Chain A
């Protein structure tokens, strides 16, 4: 932690970065902070409760951070994948960001929890995560991390796959009927950077904006389609959902499909092209008559 603070101080002092985006202590555990003064660098912390994906603050939609231009960000491996995604999609210039990579062996479900990482507390996002350190980082910190503990509970994807379509429909209707269409899932997502989201488009209005199950369903299906080959698996949408809809489940299902079909896994290498928008002549087409 000391190394992190020292580095931040140095970056701010020599103007390599005008702001360091990291975690600081808040009233209910760690929260994102923006450090602009070298003398405030000692406010930075990092531990297993630092769940937020700070790459979302690089997103040009965050107008208040745009004027800083040169930004340093503290990133876990999943956050680094998001930064890579933003670079890939020309939202961020690599030379404008300094990435302070933290080795990571998993985080807990939410920042207000006790930081102890166990089968019961580990965030579901970490269970499929193959990365222990962000390779894209300019500076790498923290100790060698071991794989996060395997979470408990049933494999929900397998469970849903085993259901009939009608049962699955029923399952999702029960979940989605709670949706209040606050769009927190979108706001927190580092990869949602459209100036005008399709959900807010009215001519035509593909997705009904009122919290009706019909619009709720098409919103989530559309969101997942837009995330195909882009979702970094940080699980922030699930965490941000005020009514606890298991959004990560759909994204994980989609991620599996993308990997099985196109052999693609989202990485933190911005030079690897995304699978959607590309094709192979011999892509599997067993579902097409």
Chain B
């Protein structure tokens, strides 16, 4: 026979006003198995909780029912209380007589009757509650970081410095990301590469970081603490363990006319290349689409067209037959830090909702460039050696028009959000331009100047007040090429005057978008993303770097447009979350998971089909000699989230969801 205590809360007047709490306590006291039933003004108060604790000891209770507010409000509180009193916390349940009763009814008699019913259900249910212990899952104290930009680098270093191993996967041949392409950074104008390169080297040399550049995540299995990740190491055509990065192969490569990705198409590179001199790792990659040898092999040519790189390589590191390889890594947590791409204004777009800018010529006018291209022009390591020269004819542009919010904040073009960084980097561009081109005029068309951040507004003011940038509040309706100049037709909304500018070059601050392929990666990780492809955080305010999938975290511009300080802060936040997770060798989880009765399971596996998490597995029951008796279902407690869909679908009811077992529900319905 059970020994149940019922505790009816008045919640001040909140319950007591419409529910006769004393009558509820009395009625429940008469239920079989109830040995103690009282009402009290504030059950959740210290004295209220003390009453519960005291009663547990005095009456040797093996079940506590608190008839009070919603379990979403105080279930944790009271379960803690009973745990402190020495009984298992899952032997405490709540009857919701406030939100579901006193607050929504006026008739005292009806409300009291309903409160008695609701409490009775729970009393009957709790007779079948059993003590449950938290599930312990072993944790692999090793993290995977996807993306080797500044966010990924920061996360990897922080986790590794914290003492745990990290696998850093980068899809490009080198880590560094977009930050390595930037000239100077706002608002301090310190050189981007100067602050980034040491961090890249640190990653490379860190004993606890395994760097896998030119690699992509292929498959993700498992769950928090226990992920198994398959990484595809793309074939470089170069044996990384032999190559010493001397660069001779790049010098002899006959095809040097390939648009450099690193220089945003403004510079050239050979078919065998490292993206930039400070690349980490400093090992070249053969661009198979542009290499004569591979092009020939694709056409089934009898003889290889060119092997100059192989001939010149003293280390014999060139390996034309190298294939992609797949590596399996076991990790306990994953950081997604895949960064961004820039929107382009071309007519063809990758998403139907997004359209280009026909009014700006759909990207066909030379000398209309984007922000990253300007960064490369301004960068000392760029194709012009840091001189601002326009791409079409190499002339120094005397009038440069900068347009903000290209794509961003323009629902007609398919993107509603603000890209956040453009106001700042355009201000920076005007400063760099002012310093580099004397007598040049920068004209900026803006919608608003959004310069929220430490030293940010001061920075934009400096661009306007000290660096002679002409800021025009308005948009450009059209631009076209007229001889040597670009005719820019805009409107100054402050003076109300149309503006016709003959520009030598136009820089578009195009929107930040997540990297292509983000959706498929998100699906592999079972994390959700918004309609633009940005990864959703678990809570916009309180869980900004977690995702809805436990063990998967997000940092940087793959979550929303972010500048460098934001991305770094997020990365460090993910690292601290992960180090916290890794601080214990085992993870504790609520034990409200499904459990299979292997004795009665017939192995039809309806449960496997309905499980949203793939938590149900096949299990072979064998006799002592190892002969197979039957194959049954088994729930992986680490993966199960406790929805119970398996149980409702099980014909023989051989699977039970702990905390909501058939016994418990049956008892509650039976009390109806």
Q: Which of the listed residues B599, B604, B610 has the most CB atoms from chain A within 10 Å of its own CB? A: B604
Binds B, one of A6-14, A115-123, A192-200: A192-200
Q: How far is the CA of A156 from the CA of B77 in the complex (A)?
A: 58
Residues 266 to 280 of chain A near chain B (Cβ within 8 Å): 273-274, 276-278
Q: Which residue of B lies closest to A277 (CB)?
A: B609
Q: How far is the CA of A194 from the CA of B600 in the complex (A)?
A: 8
Question: Would you give the 0/1 interface string for A200-213, flagging 1 where the beta carbon is closer than 8 Å to chain B?
Answer: 01011010000000
Residues 629 to 672 of chain B near chain A (Cβ within 8 Å): 630-631, 649, 651-654, 662-663, 666-667
Q: Which residue of B lies closest to A227 (CB)?
A: B651
Q: How far is the CA of A58 from the CA of B430 in the complex (A)?
A: 81
Q: How far is the CB of B670 from the nearest CB of chain A, in Å? A: 8
B contact residues around A198 at 8 Å (CB) = 651-653
Q: Is B52 an interface residue (CB 8 A)?
A: no
Q: Is B601 an interface residue (CB 8 A)?
A: yes
> Which listed residue, A90, A91, A194, A273, touches B652 by the CB 8 Å rule?
A194
Q: How far is the CA of A233 from the CA of B423 in the complex (A)?
A: 70
Residues 586 to 636 of chain B near chain A (Cβ within 8 Å): 599-606, 609-610, 630-631
Question: Would you give the 0/1 interface string for A18-56, flagging 1 where the beta carbon is closer than 8 Å to chain B?
Answer: 000000000000000000000000000000000000000
Q: How far is the CA of A33 from the CA of B610 in the complex (A)?
A: 38
Docked-complex contact A226 and B651, CB < 8 angstroms? yes
Docked-complex contact A90 and B600, CB < 8 angstroms? no
Docked-complex contact B602 and A204, CB < 8 angstroms? no
Q: How far is the CA of A91 from the CA of B667 in the complex (A)?
A: 33
B contact residues around A201 at 8 Å (CB) = 652-653
B contact residues around A276 at 8 Å (CB) = 606, 649
Docked-complex contact B631 and A203, CB < 8 angstroms? no
Q: Is A89 an interface residue (CB 8 A)?
A: yes
Q: How far is the CB of A208 from the nearest CB of chain B, in Å? A: 12
Q: How far is the CA of A91 from the CA of B651 in the complex (A)?
A: 14
Known: A90-B604, A278-B609. A204 touches B663 (CB 8 A): yes
Residues 256 to 286 of chain A near chain B (Cβ within 8 Å): 273-274, 276-278
Q: Summarize A's interface: helix, strand, loop or mixed.
A: loop
Residues 43 to 95 of chain A near chain B (Cβ within 8 Å): 60, 89-91
| Residues of chain A at interface, number, CB under 8 A | 20
Question: Would you give the 0/1 interface string for B501-531, flagging 1 where the beta carbon is closer than 8 Å to chain A?
Answer: 0000000000000000000000000000000
Residues 145 to 160 of chain A near chain B (Cβ within 8 Å): none
A contact residues around B651 at 8 Å (CB) = 194, 198, 226
Question: Would you give the 0/1 interface string for A240-265, flagging 1 where the beta carbon is closer than 8 Å to chain B?
Answer: 00000000000000000000000000
Q: How far is the CB of B521 from the nearest CB of chain A, in Å? A: 22
Q: How far is the CA of A276 from the CA of B663 in the complex (A)?
A: 25
Q: How far is the CA of A127 from the CA of B23 in the complex (A)?
A: 62
> Which listed residue, B603, B604, B606, B663, touches A203 by the CB 8 Å rule?
B663
Q: How far is the CB of A223 from the nearest CB of chain B, in Å? A: 10
Q: How far is the CA of A273 from the CA of B608 in the complex (A)?
A: 13
Docked-complex contact B667 and A204, CB < 8 angstroms? yes
Known: A204-B662, A204-B663. A196 touches B654 (CB 8 A): yes
Docked-complex contact B652 and A197, CB < 8 angstroms? yes
Docked-complex contact B631 and A90, CB < 8 angstroms? yes
Q: How far is the CA of A194 from the CA of B610 in the complex (A)?
A: 18
Docked-complex contact B603 and A91, CB < 8 angstroms? yes
Docked-complex contact B604 and A89, CB < 8 angstroms? yes
Q: How far is the CA of A198 from the CA of B651 in the complex (A)?
A: 7
A contact residues around B601 at 8 Å (CB) = 195
Question: Would you give the 0/1 interface string for B430-472, flagging 1 where the beta carbon is closer than 8 Å to chain A?
Answer: 0000000000000000000000000000000000000000000
> Which listed residue, A89, A194, A226, touches B605 by the CB 8 Å rule?
A89
Q: How far is the CA of A88 from the CA of B146 in the complex (A)?
A: 39
B contact residues around A89 at 8 Å (CB) = 604-606
A contact residues around B609 at 8 Å (CB) = 273-274, 277-278
Q: Which residue of A lies closest to B601 (CB)?
A: A195
Q: Which of the listed residues A204, A274, A278 has the most CB atoms from chain B within 10 Å of its own CB? A: A204
Q: How far is the CB of B129 from the nearest CB of chain A, in Å? A: 14
Q: Which residue of B lies closest to A222 (CB)?
A: B651
Docked-complex contact B666 and A91, CB < 8 angstroms? no
Q: How far is the CA of A54 from the CA of B609 in the complex (A)?
A: 28
Q: Which residue of A lies closest to B603 (CB)?
A: A90
Q: Which of the listed residues B599, B649, B651, B667 has the most CB atoms from chain A within 10 Å of its own CB? A: B651
> Which listed residue, A197, A206, A277, touches B649 by the CB 8 Å rule?
A277
Which residues of chain B have a CB within 8 Å of any CB of chain A?
599-606, 609-610, 630-631, 649, 651-654, 662-663, 666-667
28 pairs from A and B in contact (CB 8 Å cutoff): A60-B630, A89-B604, A89-B605, A89-B606, A90-B605, A90-B631, A91-B603, A91-B604, A193-B602, A194-B604, A194-B651, A195-B600, A195-B602, A195-B652, A196-B599, A196-B652, A197-B652, A198-B652, A201-B652, A201-B653, A206-B653, A206-B662, A226-B651, A274-B609, A276-B606, A277-B606, A277-B610, A277-B649
Known: A90-B603, A90-B631, A226-B651. 6 other contacts (CB 8 A): A90-B605, A198-B651, A204-B663, A277-B606, A277-B610, A277-B649
